[in-house]
Structure formats: C-alpha cells, structure tokens
Structure 1
Amino acid sequence: MNYFQTFVFILLLSITSCTTKQKFSADFNNINDRIWVGRDFWSIPLEDWKIENGKLLCQGIVPDSRVNILTYNLSPAKGNFKVSARIMLVDKGDVEGSAGLLLGVHDKEDPDVRAACYFGEGLKAGISLNGFAFLKDKQVDLPTGFDFSEVILIVSGNNNQLKMSISDKNGNSPDALTCKIDGINGLIALANNIRMGGNQKPGNSKFAFDDIKLSGSKVIYNPENSFGPVLWTMYTLSKKTVKLMALLPPLGENDNREISLQLKKGELWETIESKPIEADSRTAVYKLEKWNDSIDVKYRIEYIEKGKDGTEWPDYYEGTIRKNPAGRPLKFGGFTCQYHYGFPYTPLVESVMKQNPDILYFSGDQIYEPNGGYPVKREPADVSIVNYLGKYYMFGWAFRSVMRDRPTICTPDDHDVYHGNLWGEGGIAKPGGIISDDTRGFTQSVKMVNVVNRTQCGQLPDPYDPA
C-alpha cells in the first residue's frame, strides 16, 4: 500500500469512527442489589435510588430525583436518536406523581457533565398519575383504565422535532405527542416526580425503571465521563510513611468487597496489598512504611466489579506518589468552604493544575447541607451516612484530578457533620430538643460522625497520641 492509499484509508477510518451510530442499553439484571447504579450513571439524591431485583428503583420522594446517564450523550450535531425505557409504578403515594425522561440535559454556564448532573435542565417527557402524558409543553390524556404498573415510553427525534409514544402492558396507548425544538444536546436522565411547573404540587409517588435503550447518529460515547467504582484517592507522605485512602460508592452485600493497591515496578504493576472495603465509610486505607521519598512512584487502585453471573469488569484508578520536594520552598494550595454554586469549580481546578502545588489542604466545609440541591437526612444513621456521602462525593468528583498526584490534607468543619458554628466539645451529644447553630456537641449520630472523620481524614499520618 503506497503513501496515498494509506492516507485515504486512515481518513476513511477516521470518518467512519466519527459517524458510527452508538448504542447503549441497560437492564440491570446482572447487577447485584445495591445503592450505586453503576459507572455509567449518577443518581441524585444518592440514597433515594437503588438496584433491586434487576430494576432501578426510586425509594424517595424528593421532586426531580434523577439518574443521569453519564457516558452516552446527545451531540449537538445533526442526526437522529431514539431512547426508550420501561417505567413501573411502585407506590402511588399521597399525591399523584410522575415519571419519565429528561432529554438534552446541560448546564447553561458550564459544559462539564458534572455541572449538567446537578444544575442541568432538559426537555421533559413522561407520564403523570393525574392521567396525562407530556412532552415539553405538550400534553395528551391517557386512555381510561391506563395501567401504570408497566409502561413503555419511547422518544425519537432530531434537532428539529421530537415524537413520543407510550403504551401500557395491555397495549393501551394515547395519540403520539410531537413538538418542535431548536436543537438538542446533553445528557439523558431518568426522572421521578418531575416538576411540572405552574401551581401543580410535586407528587410523592415512587417508580422503577428498566430496559433503558439509547441509539442513533446523535449519540456519542464519552467513557471519560464515568464515575466509579473507584471514585478517587487521597494520600499523605510523612517521615517516609505513605498513607493512601481509596473511596468507593455504596456497593451491595454480594458485590466484590476487596480492593487492591498496586505500584508500578518498571513496566509491570505489582499488587502490594489487598484490603476489605470498610462497610460504613466505603473506604480502604493503606499504610506503606520505609518509603523511598526521593523518587516519584506511580500507583493504581484495582477494583474488580462482579456481576450476578460472575462476569468481571475491572476498574483501575491511577495516580502518582510524588517525591518529597527538596531545595526549594514548598508550594501550598489551600481551600475552604465548597458551596455547590460553583460546582465543579472548573476555573479553580484549572488554575490549581497550572500552579501545580506540592500539597493540598482542604480546611473544612467540604460540603454544605444544601449541596446537591436536596435536603439532608439526619436519621436513621445508615440513611444519613449515604446522604452525607452523596454530598461529599461532589467534592471528590470536583477535585480528584488534583488530589490523585499530590499529598492531600483534609479536615472536617461544622457543616461536614451537619452542624453549625459551635460544635464538638469532646464528642458529647448535642443537648436534646435544642436546635441552634451555636449549640455545643454533635447533632448527628456517632456512626455518621465517624464516617465523616474516616472519609476526610483516613489518609492523614497517624496521630502522635492515638488515644
């Protein structure tokens, strides 16, 4: 093959790769029961969604609860797409709710997928227990006797028009809805109790989702958007001792509960230690003594996700344990008070990467109670822990790119433990019945406070006085 033929072949291959239709499907049948939906998804609020018996179930009543599809998105380019889902009513609740899809979810200020997950808006398509289906600003009445126990919803379209059809398990179906649009791009999300606007009160029904399918020439695959199962790492290096913590999402009892630390030796990766994942904090901490702190060492965390049928999906999260800086002043990066308005703090993170500090210090309030756009849950302890983790994971998702390659000090403050101003006092419980930001002690359970300390401080050097 001559040079010209080679050039033409490569050009055609490139064009084919860019225009190939992408397909995505998820039926959850091979996923163990758990809270974390999977690396291709991100659920909000975290504690309100779970995989149960092969279905994705919303178990909360927060309006606009959603599961974002991270890795398969709609391109702004010309083309077509088709998305479908099976939606099942689980609990009608006291106020009739709704369920469906959010299409073309994106944030107007920040194109980052993480911003879209929390602040993005999209076109609404779905069903309401009040007896109608909706697509954007169009509505159609559902047939009498429409069965919400199992509904198939299909939306297809392009940059100019959308069409939605729905049917229940008995074949009952209203007329298809169509609407004109002026372009569409962004995420697809599954949504429970969609806000309809106007004076309509948000419902508190609960739905399940299954058989998610997405295809078409507008669909693009972005594997770099995935989040998990290894969410991020933090480490410190002090007196030739490395402490490194890996953070994972809430996995299931039947999931793999072991995670491994590997170091790169030449061209090979060597497993140094495997550890069980701590149940409440969903972390694993490694301690490496007699460390050679005069060289950079690459590390990675290995987690092998296993399906019900034994299928394995390995995941690797890499970083560098830097050598101790010598012969120059230490470059220090300090941060505090991560309120969610700026999430994922893109200009800040880009600036930090350019400044390239030797060490990071997050001095407190890595979260605030409103972060994520949903309320805190203070009890029971296990629920409050996952509620906290969902908000704390925003912090890790935003800063993991800078934390993976340099020592990170992180210490909690009042809002990290769902308190305010005066708090702690040697670990006493806050006096009962008093609600004030200026009340001493801890509002939250010992179990949750310990999780906060573990997830933020697990990588810190051992205390001088372990007591």
Structure 2
Amino acid sequence: MKRRSFLKLSAGLLSSSLLSGCSGLFASYRGDLTSTAPLDNTNFSKQVWLGKHFWGNRLQDWQRIGNELLCTREGKDFEARTVSLLSRQLNGSLQSGRIKATVRNLTPNEEGFCGFLLGIGKGELSAKGAALAQRAGGENGGIIAAFDSLGKLSFRQFDDESKALDFTIINRAPFNIQQYKSGDKITLDCHLDPIDTHHFDIRLVASNTNTAQELGFALLHKVPADQLQGGISLLSSSEPFVAGARWGFSDIETGGGKITLNNANTLGPVMGCMYSVNKQVLKLSCQLMPINIKEFSRVELQYKFENQLDWQHAGTAKIEDGFVARFRLSNWNYLKQAQYRIVNPQKPEDTLYFGTIAKDPQNTKEFTIALYSCIIPTSKSLDNTHYTRLISSERDLGRYTKDNILFPHTELVENANYHNPDMYVFCGDQYYETYPTRYGRHTKDAKLDTLYKWYLWYWAFADSIKDKPTLVLVDDHDVLQGNLWGDGAEHSDMPKEEDGGYKWDKDLVRMIYRMQNGHNPDPYDPTPIKYDIPVSYAAFEYGGISFAMVEDRKFKTPPDYKANKLATTGELLGKRQEAFLKDWQTMHPGKPKICITASMWGSPQTDENGKALIDYDAHGYPADGRTRAVKLVSDANALVIAGDQHLGLLAYQGINTFDDGSLFFAGPASAAFWQRWFEPHAPLPNQRNNDKNTGDFTDTFGNKMRVLAAANPKVTHKLFAKQNTTWGKFLADRNLKSEGYGIIKINHAKKYYQLECWEWNTDPSIGKQFAGWPYIKEF
C-alpha cells in the first residue's frame, strides 16, 4: 500500500472513530503485507457444485459460473447464506493472515451485506463441523467482516445467542465508501494481524476491482486471539427478516501463517463409494456432487487385485438422477482383495476416488458388523432463531459448539471403527427432514435439499464405508415422512401419511432408493411396486453368514384406529417378502443366519406411567402380520438386527409364548431427537440380572416378548413428562440420552453371536457398554 493511500485511509478511519487512539491504527498496519494465493480459479460451466474447496449452505442456495460463486436464494428468512472454505482454517498461532475476494451485488436495487465469516467454532469444531454455519449467529459463531449494499465497511456479530439475527455492528461507526455504486465489483481484502500475545487487529480494505483504487477500510482493534480460530466462510445476506441482496464472490485468495491450508479437507467431485459382495457379484455405487452432467456424464471403475501392477477396466456407468453411478460386476473374484478407483473416462489418468474391495473372509475369522441408525447432524435446527431448553433438566446448547454441531460424528465413528468392522449396516433414517435445516420436501428444490442432507451422512461415514461392504436400508425419514405405512405405494395420492403410501414426488422417492440402495445385493424379486418404486429385499452370503434384508415399511398396512387393538390384522412384510423369507430358510445351509430389518417386530415401549404405549408406527402393528414375520425368521433360526426406535433393545419376540421366537437386537439411535422408554411400572416375570426394565412383556397389540436389555434415556419418562411443555418426546441434550451404535460379532469357531451396545463417546478399549450388554447367543 502506498504511503499516500495509507494516510488517506487513516484519516477516514480516524474520522469514523473506530479506534480509541492512533497507536491501535499504526499497530494494525503492516508494511510487509502477507502474500496470498488463489483457492481455485478454474472456470466452471454453470453448476451447483462449487468446487472441491467449497461447501455451500445450502446446495440450492448457490451456483458456480466460471470462477464466481453466486448466491441464488431469494426471499426473507434466508439470511446469511454461506460458503465454507473447506481447505482453510484459522489456527491458534500469533501470525498474520489474509483473506481476499472480489464481490458484487447481484441485485443492485436490494439491500444486504456480504463478507467473510471468521472464527467459526473458536477451534472447538472440526473443519467439517464449522462448514455448517449459516443463517443465525450464536455461541462460537464468529465475526463478520462485512461490506453492505450502501458501500459501508463494518464488523458484525455472529456470536450472540440472544440476538441470533441482529448481526449487530460491533464498531461504532462503519466506514462509508463515497465512490461506491451498487453493483460495482469490489475487492475485499481482510488482514488479521497480531498486536500482542493475546490480541489481533482485523482490517478490512475495499478497492475498486477494475482500477485497483483503494476506496476505504475499517478496522476492529484488539480482538481476543481465541475468537480468531476455526472455520472461514463467505457470507451473502439480506438484512434480517426481509428479502434483499444476493452477492457473488470470485478470485478468492488466502495467505499467511494464521491460516492453515489442508487439502485433505477438500470434497468432490466424488463424495464417496459404497459396495456389497455376494459371491461372484460385486455391486458398487459412486456418489458424486451436483456437477454439470452435460459435460461430465459418466464415470469409469477400475480395479487391480493384490500383486497386480496394471489397472483393470470394469466399465463405465452413467451418472443418474441423484448424481449417482451404479456398477455391477458378475464375475468377481471374491476371495481376493482389490484396490479400486473412479476416474473420468475423458481424463483416465486422474484418480477421482479410491478404496479397497475387501476379500470375503468366509468363516476363517470372527466376523464383526457395525450397526447404525437414526443420525441427525445437529441437535437443533440451524434455521431456528432461538434455542430453548425442552425440559428444565437440559443444558443450554451453544449453537456452534460440539453440543449442537454433531456432524461429522467424529467420536461415534472412531469408537465404532475401533472394533475393526468387516461390514457396516445402516438400518435407516440416515437423515431427517428438518436437520440441519428446514423442510424442503415440498419445494421446487426438493431433490437438492434431500441431497444436502444425504451428503452430510455420506461425508461423515465415507472414509469407513469405502473400504468395507455396506448395507443400507431406506426407512420413513429417508423418504421424507415422519411415518411410513408403505402399503405397496397404494393410496399415495391421498393426503395423510396414515392413508398409506408415499406422499412426496415419486421421482424424488425413486432417486432416494437409487442413491441409498444402488449398491445393495440384487433383490430377490426386482419387480417394482406402484409408481415404479424399486424394492431391495434380498438374500446374500458373506463372511460365512447367510443374510436376508427385508423392508418392513414398504408393504405395511396403514393404521386402523377403529379396530380392536388386540385383534389388528394386515401386512407387515407383505406376501412377497413372506414368500422370500420362506425360501431363505433353506438357502445357504449350515451357515448362521442374520436378518437385517429397520425396526423390531413388536412394540416394547411404555408411557410415563409405565404402562404399554400404543404406537402404530412400531411393528407391534398389525399383530397378525407381525407374528407371521416373527415365525418366518424363527423357523430360519435367525438373529434379527434392527434400529429405528431410538431405543437400544434386546428382546425375544414371542409367537405363542414370550420367548419362542427369534432374538432381536435393535441398536440405539446414533443421534436422534425423539425419545422412547421401556420402564414397566411393576416388576415383570423372568427379569434378567434383576434389572427392573427386563422381563416378559405384552405390548398394546397383544404381542408377547421377553425383554433382556433396554438402553433407556438417562432421564426417566415420568420426569420427562412432568417437565415437558411440548407435544412431542423431544430431547436435544445428549447428556440426557442414550445414543451410540451396535456391534455384532459372529464367532464361527465357537458358534455364537456376541451382541454389544455402546454409547457414542465411550472409549471401547476401556469403557463399559450399556447395562445388559454384551449378550452371547449360541447358534
């Protein structure tokens, strides 16, 4: 910066009373300006994916054209649209840093502001977690270095939990650039400079992009150093509660020792891969970001086995709706391990993604399955402007703390992976409709909104599932419904979920099944149901085990509230799946059998008074369909594993008595909001280990079962009901819930299953499981 320019800017700054004295001003100036380097100046054709260095909140709110990131979201209630700089983080060092970008108001007649959001998470959140910051400010939210539509430079709060949408200007008088015309391209240059061992100055300089003339700057003096740690995002916003300006960003550059560069945090164009192996059949799906498929329409799969030098070409696959490509190889050598990679057929020398196809261990080792279900990325929605405790026992959850930002579930994933799973099973509800953001299922952007939520699940687990077989079930929230009585898709045209069927756009529903189930083993009978919605119930053999996967909501009968609760009739699995399970009984003779389903086939739940709770969503309904299903898996001598009800449970489901059916293990929710309890009001017969929450139980539909263990929430249902002021059974505070994952070990040598139930933050090398686990069952 030339001395003349600096003096001119200094005069403007002093006249604005941004500093208490000249010492702070000169401390903030550095003659040896930190150099910068571009993040990504690639020229893209118009597309939603912003490039591997960027994560847009939300997908449907941003596009990239050339090297410019354009906010596309209009309308009120969409303040603070953000783009995270994934590969850049503010570290805790006392070094200078610099962030630079060209901005322009895409809507010159509208009011709003743009800028850099600095210090998201205050170093508490991972780069992925900090990437979610959007709309409302709150604890650890950071500081906005802002430029507005009137040409004013300022600094705004994004860390005030009580004024989440105020974006209060911190400096007393913003610097007003007289020469600015709305719509002009402006280069914003943000300098972070340490002034002592505990503080930084932040200086935001504005220049005319075309002439490079410096127009003005604002300075925030003596910012505590701990506030400048964490994520960095670009921000485009209207003023609070009104529709307003949208902004574009280009020529984004960073530099300086204060900013950590970590390209390991980049994302795309491939999000990840999942696969399954069933003897000679390998199926693999490749999930891509929302690229321009007119220019990049196919991907190629290559592989090489151990000791091979050259990559083998497995073929190419079309990138389908949902940005997923599916491969099926029918002559796979399942007894060998292989490396695989995904490439663009037009640029086969560049590896886009890679992983390992594990060899089928057959019965040569103890086989371990990790069991997950029900996973939200945040404890509360980021669109909510106020967080209130749902019951008095809950803690206040800071918006951008680990208590609220659960994604990317680092402890959960690392603790589960400690067990070195041979297979991952996700039983459903990989995401929920309103987390981390509002409903989008009814909008024109429903597909992108669903992808946004799906990507967060994928991003959290991608490094685990790319190297091991993975099975995924689609459940009710996956198809954007609170409850699903699928009824073979009949009555889907009727308005209520209780009418049965699928309530949202059927092309969207097909996309969801394609993304989540495209890699699963071939279905037993691929005939789709109504609206061409695919099925995925299947049998396969892996690890010396005979598996069956069933869909326990796709054919389920809608509730009949008028029928006698003890005499309900209808379908749980439906005739097709019942015939399948009958056939499965004789498949893979001599091998242990495991059936994978979404939910336990019974309703072991109690109300606040300890009485059996009625719940038509649970699979105690319909009773006769449930009992037929239990008998079929019992006749197969199968263990059944499930999830869904958010309550870790171990129970024999009875047919005629309390324990003459199969053993069911429902893993706990990994991270959920709705709570359920099993707390009988009076001692039950045949308790296990003198645990009052075990024993012989009859649910509201007359189904008998013997409960062996229950991982109840840490607050009793009675106390919860006494304090609860909402209509639901919601809890946000993880300290009051019992969440985690299941582990199933199949010991071939000693012929037993070992069932384990772990809390998400328990160190499995030294910690204890939920009470009642582990449990060993011979086969």
User: TM-score range with shorter-chain normalisation?
Assistant: 0.7 to 0.9
C-alpha separation between the residues in 2 aligned to 1:379 and 1:22?
44
- Structure whose residues are more often strand by fraction: 1
C-alpha separation between the residues in 2 aligned to 1:254 and 1:133?
41
- Residue 343 of structure 2, aligned match among 284, 302, 312: 302
CA positional deviation for 1:460: 0.8
Two-structure CA RMSD over aligned residues (Å): 2.7
C-alpha separation between the residues in 2 aligned to 1:288 and 1:276?
12
One-letter code of the match for 1:161?
D
Match of 2:300 in 1: 260
Tell me which structure has the larger Cα radius of gyration.
Answer: 2
C-alpha separation between the residues in 2 aligned to 1:177 and 1:315?
42
One-letter code of the match for 1:466?
P
Match of 1:99 in 2: 114
- Map 1:201-240 → 2, pairs under 5 A: 201=241, 203-240=243-280
C-alpha separation between the residues in 2 aligned to 1:54 and 1:405?
34
C-alpha separation between the residues in 2 aligned to 1:426 and 1:92?
51
Alignment CA distance shift 1:255-1:421 (3 Å) = same
Match of 1:129 in 2: 149
- Residue 140 of structure 1, aligned match among 166, 170, 174: 174
C-alpha separation between the residues in 1 aligned to 2:174 and 2:431?
42
- Residue 176 of structure 1, aligned match among 218, 240, 243: 218
Match of 1:7 in 2: none
C-alpha separation between the residues in 2 aligned to 1:305 and 1:73?
33
- Residue 85 of structure 2, aligned match among 63, 66, 69: 69
C-alpha separation between the residues in 1 aligned to 2:480 and 2:412?
25
C-alpha separation between the residues in 2 aligned to 1:123 and 1:452?
37
C-alpha separation between the residues in 2 aligned to 1:324 and 1:202?
59
Please, what TM-score do these two structures have when normalized by structure 1? 0.85
C-alpha separation between the residues in 2 aligned to 1:182 and 1:330?
51
CA positional deviation for 1:296: 2.0
Alignment CA distance shift 1:255-1:180 (3 Å) = farther
Q: Deviations over 1:244-266 (max 9, x none)?
A: 11110111145332212111242
One-letter code of the match for 2:468?
R
One-letter code of the match for 1:179?
H
CA positional deviation for 1:223: 1.4
- Map 1:394-433 → 2, pairs under 5 A: 394-428=456-490, 430-431=492-493
Alignment CA distance shift 1:81-1:209 (3 Å) = same
Bigger CA drift: 59-68 or 160-169? Answer: 160-169
Is this contact kept in 1: 2:39–2:254, CA < 8 A? no
Please, what TM-score do these two structures have when normalized by structure 2? 0.52
Alignment CA distance shift 1:331-1:49 (3 Å) = same
- Map 1:17-416 → 2, pairs under 5 A: 23-26=36-39, 28=41, 30-61=43-74, 62-91=78-107, 96-106=111-121, 109=124, 111-119=125-133, 121-129=141-149, 132-136=152-156, 137-138=170-171, 139-144=173-178, 146-149=180-183, 150-159=185-194, 160-168=200-208, 173-183=215-225, 184-193=228-237, 200-201=240-241, 203-265=243-305, 266-303=307-344, 314-341=351-378, 342-380=406-444, 383-416=445-478
Q: Deviations over 1:111-131 (max 9, x none)?
A: 321111115733201122366
C-alpha separation between the residues in 2 aligned to 1:203 and 1:400?
37
C-alpha separation between the residues in 2 aligned to 1:107 and 1:461?
44
- Residue 500 of structure 2, aligned match among 435, 440, 447: 440
Alignment CA distance shift 1:193-1:429 (3 Å) = farther
C-alpha separation between the residues in 2 aligned to 1:232 and 1:47?
21
Q: How many residues align?
A: 433
Q: Deviations over 1:199-245 (max 9, x none)?
A: x4365321111111111122322111111112111111113311111
C-alpha separation between the residues in 2 aligned to 1:180 and 1:419?
50
CA positional deviation for 1:326: 1.3
Identity over aligned residues, as a percent? 26
Bigger CA drift: 285-294 or 297-306? Answer: 297-306
C-alpha separation between the residues in 2 aligned to 1:88 and 1:27?
18
- Structure scoring higher RCO (CA < 8 A, sep ≥ 6) equals 1
Alignment CA distance shift 1:25-1:396 (3 Å) = same
C-alpha separation between the residues in 2 aligned to 1:135 and 1:74?
17
Q: Deviations over 1:290-319 (max 9, x none)?
A: 32222322222224787xxxx996423223
C-alpha separation between the residues in 1 aligned to 2:333 and 2:255?
51
Alignment CA distance shift 1:204-1:444 (3 Å) = farther
Q: Deviations over 1:150-180 (max 9, x none)?
A: 2221110224111112245685834533332
Alignment CA distance shift 1:281-1:357 (3 Å) = same
Q: Deviations over 1:65-91 (max 9, x none)?
A: 111111133322121111111111112
One-letter code of the match for 2:92?
P
Bigger CA drift: 100-109 or 278-287? Answer: 100-109
Gapped regions of structure 1 (runs ≥ 5): 1-20
C-alpha separation between the residues in 1 aligned to 2:437 and 2:123?
17
Alignment CA distance shift 1:69-1:332 (3 Å) = same
- SS at 1:371's partner residue? coil
Gapped regions of structure 2 (runs ≥ 5): 1-33, 134-139, 157-169, 195-199, 379-405, 528-779
Match of 1:14 in 2: none
Alignment CA distance shift 1:294-1:253 (3 Å) = closer
C-alpha separation between the residues in 1 aligned to 2:377 and 2:497?
20
